[in-house]
Structure 1
């Protein structure tokens, strides 16, 4: 029952009181004035308990009514979002194949100055905007430029006539397109084709490396998602990223070089490229997940799926409409396949920009992981209790109630003469905030 009583100490004002419940936090409140205090001296009345029970039942029913609606809304978002994503990606990947044609493709015209310039002008004006022709002195200069990845093909005017020099290792699609195009322009001429930098013998059509590269990128991105869901500690995430990149790079290079035999050159160089690619892809996904949660993970994975379509992994950036080919080379999938071909076939020539792009993305991923866990960054440990449980060190120490209006706490009166402060007799005038006697 509720009673109103007024206790006045010898000083006339309500004193301070410090009370503590069993296992609870310690509270301190200062009484204001000498007005009446309301305290509970008995068990809660039946109507109040009934109202609380009814209120709890109502809350439970209303929460149950709301739960199916929220789940339905989330299911609709996922289903519609996945359907739209499937449609967009299907069109995007198909468009990157159906729209292939040269857009400023770098080629060479080699031979004596007069005939070479006339040939370059003819190639430039036949289909404006498709070829970017540069004149070099002879066939040897053209071959050196092809090995340095400065051009994809060269039209060489020699003593025996016109010949076509290509580097199919740079792009099998460009090599095939150039041979098909020159056959259409000069159907009656017998023009020999010299492959200066050919593909691996087991990859004569050039599709083995391309087919093995795309799954590698997507699986590494999935690995970043799994790492984000495995641990929440920054140090463990960095260690997991390093382990994932190293093992994925070693396994990918071994599969492409020793199992499929479509990747010549140094195994360690290929492993280094794929390891750097793994840090760039998985690190970015993991960092976005650490910083933005599920939204960051989803956005990062979708970004790399779209970037893989623009990477020209099976063709060349110059075969895609502008500016998509150039933009694809600024993302890890495009830079990775360019650097991998340069390391495997061209001794690193033409891979400097791609290496810089991968390094920047790898550094960005590591930086996102470092700043993703802001509590760990500032030195505060992760809570080890159950979800929603407040650690003891963070428990509130101030009195409950509205701001500036503390709950009324009964004052503590001086102990009677001859009674120890800690005895039961001395503690008979101490009450908890809910009115129960201590």
Structure 2
């Protein structure tokens, strides 16, 4: 029979409270992980455009009507500038409209930045292709109608000439005249170019997305174990400083060496993961030093149920309900996800912000871990005399 802390069975009146409490906890966990995906609604998604003033006005009007504020266009002078902006993660893609009539437009995507946005841009390319095909069909039909009209006029003139010749006792003139020009059907195909594509080892980006959860869990496990199993702030700090680099090397080795989910420099990826783990585990040990076991619980719940869901690891930041997407980038999971994606696919992007965010969280956590604040020490409870006698 299950016993309570006082040695007797659990009182019956506590069972409904425990059951309801656990049910509510499960509901909170479900909300935390499903809310960002269910409420995903893109706002001000940065997309580049290369077009003339007249074209820009037309496409801006069309996109505003269709997207309802989901897309924010950024104008660029030429295709090369738009490509640079994509590689620097300033925009997720770009639409390049031709300067000369008859040339094909081009849609630039970056599946490594977001497969979801790349698919959306491919949909725009299909819409453009449908519009072009409609215009081509209309032009061909106009040309056919004009050719038929010209042929009818030529035949009427020939008949009139023949009748006049017969009436005058002359031989009808031989048919002649200029040959009708053939009707040509132009071919204009909208090009779609993936400027920054996902690696062949991770064609859907699933590995890069899946890398986030073990990194967060790894940071939490390290922080919880060090907080509960190691006594002394300085010793906990040393534990974090040993654990984080080793865990970073191990996780990067699995994710990059075995699965191919990460690209670029192995050591840089390992350093990013190590710093993220230090930021998460350091926060847990820091709050544990301030509030004891309650601090461990608060830090773990904060990282797992708040920071991780709004990290925008699976969708672009603009898809998370504002302002939570932006807030998530100031927390360790969000900064780590952005940093790993940049290190793997966007070496030209400015990575100062995510490095600083992770560094500040790690440093603050370790400082709180080792800092001797007034009232931090709590008296150790005296052992139970009866138990000690036994």
TM-score w.r.t. the length of structure 2 is: 0.74
Confirm or deny that 1:108 pairs with 2:48. yes
Aligned CA-pair RMSD: 2.8
Q: Distance in 1 between matches of 2:5 and 2:22?
A: 27
1:331 is aligned to 331
1:280-328, Cα deviation, whole Å (9 max, x unpaired): 1110011111211121111111111121111111111111121121111
1:230 is aligned to 229
Residues 290 and 373 in structure 1, CA contact (< 8 A), matched pair in contact too: no
Q: Distance in 1 between matches of 2:335 and 2:320?
A: 15
SS of 1:107's equivalent?
Answer: strand
Q: Distance in 2 between matches of 1:186 and 1:369?
A: 60
SS of 1:133's equivalent?
Answer: strand
Q: Distance in 1 between matches of 2:8 and 2:45?
A: 57
Shift of 1:92: 3.0
SS of 1:164's equivalent?
Answer: strand
Q: 1:74 to 1:293 in 2, by over 3 A?
A: farther
Q: Distance in 1 between matches of 2:258 and 2:5?
A: 57
Confirm or deny that 1:183 pairs with 2:138. no
Q: Distance in 2 between matches of 1:65 and 1:237?
A: 30
Q: 1:266 to 1:74 in 2, by over 3 A?
A: farther
Residues 290 and 376 in structure 2, CA contact (< 8 A), matched pair in contact too: no
Q: 1:376 to 1:195 in 2, by over 3 A?
A: same
2:240 is aligned to 241
Unaligned stretches of 5+ in structure 2? 133-188, 384-390
Shift of 1:83: 2.7
| Candidates 88, 94, 112, aligned match of 1:154 | 94
Q: Distance in 1 between matches of 2:221 and 2:20?
A: 22
Question: How many residue pairs align between the two structures?
Answer: 320
SS of 1:134's equivalent?
Answer: strand
1:257-298, Cα deviation, whole Å (9 max, x unpaired): 110012111111111111110111110011111211121111
SS of 1:201's equivalent?
Answer: coil
Q: 1:76 to 1:150 in 2, by over 3 A?
A: same
| Structure-to-structure mapping, 1:374-413, within 5 angstroms | 388=382
Unaligned stretches of 5+ in structure 1? 1-63, 390-438
Confirm or deny that 1:87 pairs with 2:81. no
Q: Distance in 2 between matches of 1:226 and 1:387?
A: 21
Q: 1:135 to 1:226 in 2, by over 3 A?
A: same
Shift of 1:200: 1.3
Q: Distance in 2 between matches of 1:314 and 1:146?
A: 19
SS of 2:371's equivalent?
Answer: helix
1:138 is aligned to 78
Residues 173 and 314 in structure 1, CA contact (< 8 A), matched pair in contact too: no
Q: Distance in 1 between matches of 2:20 and 2:82?
A: 53
Q: Distance in 1 between matches of 2:247 and 2:12?
A: 39
1:353-412, Cα deviation, whole Å (9 max, x unpaired): 2222212211221121022676899xxxx99xx9528xxxxxxxxxxxxxxxxxxxxxxx
Shift of 1:230: 0.9
1:362 is aligned to 362
SS of 1:202's equivalent?
Answer: coil
TM-score w.r.t. the length of structure 1 is: 0.66
Relative to total residues, which structure has the larger strand share, 1 or 2?
1
Shift of 1:180: 3.3
Q: Distance in 2 between matches of 1:151 and 1:294?
A: 44
Residues 234 and 373 in structure 1, CA contact (< 8 A), matched pair in contact too: no
Q: 1:193 to 1:136 in 2, by over 3 A?
A: same
Q: 1:81 to 1:363 in 2, by over 3 A?
A: farther
1:287 is aligned to 286
Relative to total residues, which structure has the larger helix share, 1 or 2?
2
1:105-161, Cα deviation, whole Å (9 max, x unpaired): 001111334323432343234333211111101111100000111000101113532
1:171-213, Cα deviation, whole Å (9 max, x unpaired): 2222123323553676565532111111111111111110122
Q: Distance in 2 between matches of 1:74 and 1:302?
A: 24
SS of 2:106's equivalent?
Answer: strand
1:37 is aligned to none
SS of 2:315's equivalent?
Answer: coil
Residues 125 and 192 in structure 2, CA contact (< 8 A), matched pair in contact too: no
Q: Distance in 2 between matches of 1:288 and 1:153?
A: 42
1:209-254, Cα deviation, whole Å (9 max, x unpaired): 1012212212221221111011111121011101111011111111
1:412 is aligned to none
